[in-house]
Every structure is written in structure tokens, then in C-alpha cells.
Structure 1
């Protein structure tokens, strides 16, 4: 019998790519999403339940209706700035609602959980590339909310035998090659979509925040990983749990660092559009360099990112051109 996976937040950017890949690999997929930041048009399977993680009764109905084998969580709010202005919203959705979900899972004897975490748990990195063991001192409520869930999962494993895999993402980017699904946020805060929206004329200019960092060209350096590479890692993490693997935490990044200028230059080359770029002062809380050490995922999960920066921008460009 094919296993059934509940994907919460499956109508969002990363969740929708995960749903599509799970389905393609023969899993039965049930999507649970309140559509507050997700889009029904991004769901590529038939089993969809519109519901909120705050609604425990609705969750119980889902677990009673479908024979769920494991749960993947992509239902967090992710805007750092908003989390600083409205921490209550983030702690409610990103922490309390996850506890609701875990409790309903345990009621129904489901003990396998895949959690999308974030590099934001590290705060200002001690050393580059960032290893999983580094000190975790998140500098905003978004990062704190993700770290809280990681710690809750550790306790639930010890107490209740709930096995989990946490993935700390560095910058998820790109789109499915089909052009059918891609990155869609409102408001959009991620660098590559903002650059491509500028190329499409939806924005007047793209800003570079800070050109005086101690880096090769003075700009911030970030690690970008294609969304389908992320989805592959999640399936490997899931299969490891199904094969009796223990709870584990992995960084997911390409291990390559690209400066904001390099990304803009590559986007100009791929789009063949010379859009306006404006240099501005640094933003508070932007570390100079964030690059992942993903060797644990490579060693334990046999995971390897396969998409280049060019692939990331090319697939994202195809999606944005089709959906502007």
C-alpha cells in the first residue's frame, strides 16, 4: 500500500513543490491549508482540505478520514519584519498551532514528522560555513518560533516517541521546470522574485542594501538552494524515518555563496533585460555572509543539490513570466 502523507501548508511555495514531488513518486498526498498565504492554484493533487491548524476538531476529522502515515509541516508565517512588529501572530501560528498538530498526530498514533525550519535559528553566525551544532541565538521572533518547535520536537521524541526530521533552509529559490508552480508571496520579500519582478517592470528598481561589507564585492553573500532540491531532501528524510531512522536535524543549502550583485548580474544575463539597480545603506540585522554546511545531509541522507544558480534563476524567470 502506498503511504499517505499529510502536507500542511501544501498550497504554499515550498509545500506545493513538495506535494507535486511526493505525488510523482507514488505517495498518496493530502493537503491541509487555510489559504491565508497559500494559493489553491498551486495544489496539484485532488485531496485538499481547507482548514486551520488552530482548529483541532477539523484536524481530527482529517486524521479520521485519511489513514495518515506521516506529516510534513510547511505552514509557518515567514516574514522576519512582520514577526518583529507582531510577535503574537508568529508564536500563535508557528508554535501553538504546531503543538495542536502534534497532539492530534499522537492521538491517532502517527509518529513521523518532517519540519521545515530555517537558518534564522542561528542568528549571527559564529563561523562560515554554518554547521548544525553552532550556537543558536535567533535575533527575531520568526527565528525564535522555529527554534522553539525544534526544542518541542526533541521533548516529544523523548516523552512520546515522536520521530522527526528538521530541515534548516538557507534561501529556498527557483521553480518547478514545468512552469506549473513557483514562488508566489504577497507581499514578496525574497531577493530573486523581487529582481525578476523588476525585470518584468512590476517594480521600478531593485535595491542593494549595503555595498560596504567585508566581502568580495562589498555586498551580502547568501546561499541559494532550488526548491526541488529541498523537496528531494524531504523525501529522503521521510524515507529514513519510515526505515526506522532516528530524529535528526539537517542544514539544506548549496554550500555556495553568491553576492547580491552576482545574482542581479546573472538575472540580467538570463532575462536579457537591463533593469534599474539602486544602491542603498545596510539594513539592520543583515549578516555579511550566510552559507550552509550541508555535509550532514550529504552523508546521512545521500542528498546532493543538483541545480545551479543559473537553473534557479532560469526556472524562476519562466514561472514569473507566465504568472505576472
Structure 2
């Protein structure tokens, strides 16, 4: 069994997120650490639309003093966001929010193709030499772009990317074909986000409009993006097939998804699964599922058959 870690995603932390007070965020962290896990994932832009609130909550709670390690992502999603000066300013702001001098992993959240990658990589290396982070991460980059960073590291003696964070779940597996071989070749760990497809496996059914404020609310930016990824006839068909086999074995769709990811996917030693939740009970349920064993063969067969049917509709692994 691969040694796959579990990380708590804190994109929902913030006054305008789903976990709206530091006190409630503390309860989530207490539940998570009580299960023996000590890494949280955040970013400059979390929660979506109200950047900085997630990092600020973690700073208020002084998580570093509790032995909790922090992975975060620099300001991205804008042209020229990854110039040396922009990255430096981003990190200064972020560390002030987090109330830390150093984080475990510092990611480029997505490609900035308007800035030469050599300039971006040099800036990250300078921050690494200054002791600002331990691991250099990439997120939402294409496999060919990962290889560019690896080559620059080899040629210039710069820090090499050793973590890649990307979407990965039963319905999002395109990275297995192109990205994973590159990561394995260069010994880069993969951290999987959206293991439950933002609730699609459990909270959405054909013909039922999701409630306002949900992650599939068409009036929100996140809802529109989630619907674009998952609201497809082939995906609704697939969920109905998962429903049938889950009922037969008396196991939830979410448990199937998490156990598949931990035990039967292409995750390997040193990789991780990032779980997020809006209720503490969901954290407990997800941790329980991840502590359970392999799935029955019949369920695995259904998952693989589904993938063959939906792969042409699967969302891209990179931006």
C-alpha cells in the first residue's frame, strides 16, 4: 500500500468562505490534527473572490506554532504575475498574513505565460536560497512545462520542482496519460485536489438544480466553472452507475472516491490527497474513508468501465 499523505485544504477559510470565523477554523484544524495529520494547503487567492482571507485565518490561529506545516501558492492567474518583483511582493504579503518567515511548499498556482519561465524560476530560486520555503511546487502546468522547469533546474543549479498539485478523481484522470510519466521520471510528488469532484459524486443528481450558494451555483464563478467541468450527460450517467454499486455494498459514493484514490489510483509513496469540507462532520467522514481498505473488485470494475465511457468528456488537467 502506498504511503499517501492527507492534507487539509483551507480554500473555504475566510469571512466570505464557508468556514467564516477563526474559531470555527480552529475546530476544523483540531479535528484534522487529532487524526495525526499536520499539513494545510492554502493560496494567495483563497477563498475565491476574497483573496487573503484563508491565509489570514491561519495566521490568526498561529498554526505554525502548533506544528502544522503550510503549503501555499503565490499570486497567479494574471498576466505578468510571475515576474521577480511580483512574486517577491506576493510572498511578502502572504507571509505577513500567515505570520511566518517560511512555509513548507511554495507553488506557482498556474502558468504565467507572459513572463519568461527562466525569470520566474530564478525568482523562486532566490526565495529558496533566502530560506523562504522547503519545496518548490507547480500547479495546473502542462507536462511539457514541468519538463522546462526541470531542465532549467539542471542547467542552472536552481531548485527543482518536487511537488505538483493537480485535479485528480474518478472522473478526472487525463493526467495519468501525459503528466504522471513525467512526474515519475523526475521524482516529483503529486498532490491531488478535488478528490470528490467538489461534491458532484454525492450532492448533484440529474434534473435537480443545486441550492444557492453551493459549489454548483450558476450565479457564482466557482459554480459556473464546476458546472462546465461536470454537468455532462455522460457524467450524470456515470454517477447513477456509482449509485447502484454503492447501494449494493452499503458504502457512500464519497467513500468509494476516496478509497479508489488512495488504494487503486496511480498515487505513490510521498503523494498526497487534499481534502476540503464545509462541515466538521465531513472532515471526520473523509478521514474515516481514507483509513479504510481497498474496494471490492466489482466496484473497481465499474469505475474502470465508467472511465472508458467518459474520458472524452473529462476536464483538462492543466490550464
Higher strand share: 1
Give the TM-score taking structure 2 as reference length: 0.35
Give the TM-score taking structure 1 as reference length: 0.35
